[in-house]
Structure 1
Amino acid sequence: MVSLVCTLQDHGDDVNWCAFSASLLATCSTDKSVRVYSVRDFSELPFSPLTGHGYGVHCCCFSACGRYLASCSTDASTVVWDTDSGDIAAAFEHPGRSPVRVCAFSPDSAHLVSGGSDGTLALWDFGSKTLRRTRAVSDATIVACSFSPCGQVFVTGSSYGDLRLWDLEMNQQHAVKNAHDLGVTCCHFAPLIQAGSDLVLVRLSSCGQDSLLKIWIISQDMAAGWKVQLLHTLAGQSAPVLSCSFSADGQLLVSGSVDKTVAVYDANQGVLLYTLKHHQRYVTACAFSPTVPLIATGSMDKTVNIWRVEDGSSGYCGAYLLLSSGRRLVGHRSLMVSDWSEDDVSAWLHEEELEVLVDTFKANNIDGPELLGLSKETLAEELHIGEDVSQHVTLGKPQNCAVVCPVDSFVLLSGFLLESAGLRNKVIRKISELKRELDGTGVPDEFLCPITREIMKDPVLAADGYSYEREAIEGWIKTKTRSSPMTNLPLQTTLVTPNRTLKMAINRWKESQ
């Protein structure tokens, strides 16, 4: 679950970007300033705000060690600040004096990329503070940039809608045309690399004016080169998506939208986990902390919200949190019917106004699986529900009912014990409704194991990027060739890792049903 920790209200205009280092949070704004806070208590550092820019600041980012903070502006500059003192460590003037919309450090902090409104890209050697390479994208503004975890390539996104993959020599390795209709707004690499003997895989998120968030697989085959494939298209928000960011472990993905919401997804399965509603205007920025379970979101309402991502064991600030399911039920409804105990079945009977059957069901040890297996014949012949009771009734009253008649098959009304002719049919109808809920395909497909097609109880992530029921995939690996059940391609490793995020999502979905 996610809870609101605090709201920062120091900026005087739109907040355009948020960035974390291990111990600091930086935010930048159209008010021309960059503000820096301690993650420990979100107090503003003594040298903050940083006010070296002449116009609005569009983007900010930390070097890997957190020692330096870069910010870029409409004033055509990218300024690098020393986070120990707040002093300017370097200032880069963008080629052509174009407004700079985005900047990004490489993971080793050796390089800094800046992208301009005129489509120009500048790659700076940060050590020597010199311009290393420039390139240009025609008829577009560079609005997004992210380095891969290895630091050897980076991706840019433009207002034209394309994503482009570049190496450090500024050679274009791949391009995805029309990745987002009407334009890309942000992109971010997941921090982890999956590598085999001759294949490297890494995920990239991108979002755009088409109101979509997308997850891509970028792979490098030593023989075939670079390749970009679409993995998930996420439509959890109803307006253009302006920002996106992976968590430090790559399990979660957050995005901010023009619809004023913040969406948190399971990044492996593409499942919407939470929709956070607290900003009053467009959500323009979002970022995960690399060291603590925090999200920062910035908005055109001039505020920055800090959210804590929790493991579900503690409480949350319910006023600002809406589960994607929209509702939450308690008691037996927190489980799938197949997991119900006898007490859960009793609770269900009371809920469906079938409490007259509680004792009979308990006496016959009816739990969830037994309930789903009941038929009209079982109800009549074994549980004696709805049977002919005329032999037990005289003048509307039972003879020695406690001994000879199944009293749960009757309704006592105004002193008369009447047979409930529709009772058995009602039970069957209610059981059928439960089965429809269970089978009724309302189950998200990503919650079903691709092998068993059953809802997963212990989902694990395999080397092919798909999640499976642990027992199913381990059995597959033992009895089949080392190939993916989904792609038929060889698995680079047979190791599987628990997908706790998906498990949480499944549990939340169960609770909502």
Structure 2
Amino acid sequence: MLPLRCHLKRTPPQKLLCRFCAMMGKLQSKLKHSTYKYSRPDAIIEERIKTTAFHEYSPAHVDTVSVVAALNSDLCVSGGKDKTVVAYNWKTGNVVKRFRGHEHDITKIACLHKSNQFFSASRDRMVMMWDLHGSSQPRQQFSGHAMVVTGLAVSPDSAQLCTGSRDNTLVLWDVGTGQCVERASVSRNLLWDLRQTRNRICEYKGHFQTVASCVFLPRALALMPVIATSSHDCKVKIWNQDTGACLFTLSLDGSGPLTSLAVGDTISLLCASFRRGIHLLRVDHSSGLELREVAVF
């Protein structure tokens, strides 16, 4: 019995379980201390520290993640410095498919509405169209910019794609043929006068560094219209869209600049970061409009 007892000491059940979970593409839950600010109804802002359990799933990328977008209520599409576009099931923690074709960092991703198709832009000056259920090769390529592509927008009917670049041009493309429909040169520094609409302009103050992303949150989350922002200061904030009041602040300490936000479903947000991949955040209604980190991949 002595050799058996020694063997059990060397390989405790916890380690065996951890190895098994790693083989399945997941790690055990860990405890994480997150700092956040909560705005009480009496207007007093409290800073709290919450210890929560979260999952570390198989990483979607091996390097910095620069952008994430929601393809549907289960899948997200992301890209980054590893030059790879990844379709990921953020509910199960599994990579669905990897798409390779770009020669440099992925800068932007745009998904076709109610479709399995999406676009990726890159520092290689190219835009590629992919099909989740198609081949690993791009379905369409859009070539014509002289510098990095920094903007993507799909028309409501999904027939046209608009791209912007640091070469100071906007290009309108036909999605079906990949041909340029129209090209326009624009000033490097554009100033749009929103006051001409005569609508109220709201200012959201609170981040200390560059704000990299802003999304409108589903109306089901709160009684008021709310938006969420992510910043290079490692913080995600929820705001009252109409008043500009900051309702909640979640600090993802150690994650580096937060580069992109996407709405996963009615209670979930996806946040891309430089150092820790993609964070899955969930809205907790038990004590107000709070965000908590539940997974990272």
TM-score by length of 1: 0.42
Q: How far 1:313 moved relative to its partner?
A: 6.2
- 2:71 corresponds, among 3, 6, 21, to 21
Give, in whole Å, the separation in 1 of the partners of 2:95 and 2:118. Answer: 15
Counterpart residue type for residue 265 of structure 1: W
Q: How far 1:39 moved relative to its partner?
A: 4.0
Superposed CA RMSD: 2.9
Instruction: Summarize the Cα distance change of 1:251–1:316 in structure 2 as closer, same or farther, 3 Å threshold.
Output: closer
Q: How far 1:67 moved relative to its partner?
A: 1.8
Which residue of structure 2 aligns with residue 90 of structure 1? 140
- 2:247 corresponds, among 237, 259, 273, to 273
Number of aligned residues? 237
Which residue of structure 2 aligns with residue 61 of structure 1? 110
Which residue of structure 1 aligns with residue 212 of structure 2? 242
Contact 2:279/2:293 (<8 A) preserved: no
Which residue of structure 1 aligns with residue 154 of structure 2? 105
1:231 has 2:205 as partner: no
Which residue of structure 1 aligns with residue 283 of structure 2? 309
Which residue of structure 1 aligns with residue 45 of structure 2? none
Contact 2:211/2:232 (<8 A) preserved: yes
Counterpart residue type for residue 94 of structure 1: G
Instruction: Summarize the Cα distance change of 1:75–1:319 in structure 2 as closer, same or farther, 3 Å threshold.
Output: closer
Q: How far 1:271 moved relative to its partner?
A: 1.9
Structure of higher RCO (CA pairs closer than 8 Å, 6+ residues apart):
2
Instruction: Summarize the Cα distance change of 1:305–1:121 in structure 2 as closer, same or farther, 3 Å threshold.
Output: same
Give, in whole Å, the separation in 1 of the partners of 2:252 and 2:88. Answer: 21
The ranges of structure 1 where at least 4 consecutive aligned residues each deviate by more than 6 angstroms after the TM superposition are: 1-4, 313-320
Contact 1:11/1:303 (<8 A) preserved: yes
Instruction: Summarize the Cα distance change of 1:230–1:137 in structure 2 as closer, same or farther, 3 Å threshold.
Output: farther
- Structure 2: where are the runs of 5+ without partners? 1-37, 39-49
Larger radius of gyration: 1
Which residue of structure 2 aligns with residue 148 of structure 1? none
Instruction: Summarize the Cα distance change of 1:19–1:319 in structure 2 as closer, same or farther, 3 Å threshold.
Output: closer
Counterpart residue type for residue 157 of structure 2: D
TM-score by length of 2: 0.71
Give, in whole Å, the separation in 2 of the partners of 1:111 and 1:13. Answer: 31
Q: How far 1:106 moved relative to its partner?
A: 1.9
1:78 has 2:53 as partner: no
* Higher helix fraction (1 or 2): 1
Alignment of 1:25-40 (within 5 A): 25-40=76-91
Q: How far 1:252 moved relative to its partner?
A: 2.2
1:284 has 2:254 as partner: no
Give, in whole Å, the separation in 2 of the partners of 1:53 and 1:7. Answer: 28
Which residue of structure 1 aligns with residue 228 of structure 2? 254
1:124 has 2:98 as partner: no
Q: How far 1:36 moved relative to its partner?
A: 1.1
* Higher strand fraction (1 or 2): 2
Q: How far 1:94 moved relative to its partner?
A: 2.6
Identity %: 23
SS at match of 2:201: strand
Give, in whole Å, the separation in 1 of the partners of 2:267 and 2:77. Answer: 16
Q: How far 1:131 moved relative to its partner?
A: 1.3
Give, in whole Å, the separation in 1 of the partners of 2:70 and 2:209. Answer: 26
Contact 1:12/1:31 (<8 A) preserved: yes
Give, in whole Å, the separation in 2 of the partners of 1:89 and 1:4. Answer: 41
SS at match of 2:77: strand
- Structure 1: where are the runs of 5+ without partners? 141-159, 164-174, 177-215, 218-225, 321-513
